[in-house]
Amino acid sequence: MAYEINEQKKIGIGLIGFGITFTFLGVILFFDMGLLALGNIFCLSGVAVLLGWHSTWQLFTRRTSYKGSVSFLVGFFLIFIGWPIVGVILESYGSIVLFSGFWPACKAFLCHIPILGWLFQYSFLFFDRFKLKSGS
């Protein structure tokens, strides 16, 4: 396997999983601020444990990622002061901008999971069926 998963990385992945779960529940339960705040704390701590504190700090303070960092942190703050819908929208945009460089590594990791890996490797089989035929 190309990626070594030690105990610290397992904890980081677990914290990120809890964060995504709490955030999902917070959105489903009409933007519950408590669940959204817990999800944010779990996600941030999971990223910090997974990448390391120094790498996380560099991720948020790089000159190329200021737009994503500012929108993510403003969204984080808005959730805590009581504007959860606007906060989630800003956080989502910030997350996409900040973590867009990680998608190839995530795809490579997910390709090693039995069923998901097959879907990622042979996704062209599914998308060919949904293409519109020209001239029809």
- The average confidence (pLDDT) of the chain is 86
Is 135 a residue whose pLDDT tops 90? no
Q: Domain ranges for the chain, please list them.
A: 7-98
Chain CA centroid to CA 46, Å = 11
Q: How far is CA 31 from CA 34, 82, 95, in A?
A: 9, 10, 18
More confident residue, 29 or 106: 29
* Vertex 35: Cα angle to 54 and 65 (nearest 5): 35
Is 42 a residue whose pLDDT tops 70? yes
111 vs 105: CA distance, rounded Å: 10
pLDDT tens per residue, range 94-116: 999 988 888 888 777 777 878 87
Cβ atoms of 74 and 55 closer than 8 Å:
no
Tokens representing residue 132 in the block: 């519109």
Please give the average per-residue pLDDT across 6-29, as a whole number: 94
Is 46 a residue whose pLDDT tops 80? yes
Q: Is 0.85 topped by the overall pTM? A: no
pLDDT band at 61 (very low <50, low <70, confident <90, very high): very high
Cβ atoms of 98 and 74 closer than 8 Å:
no
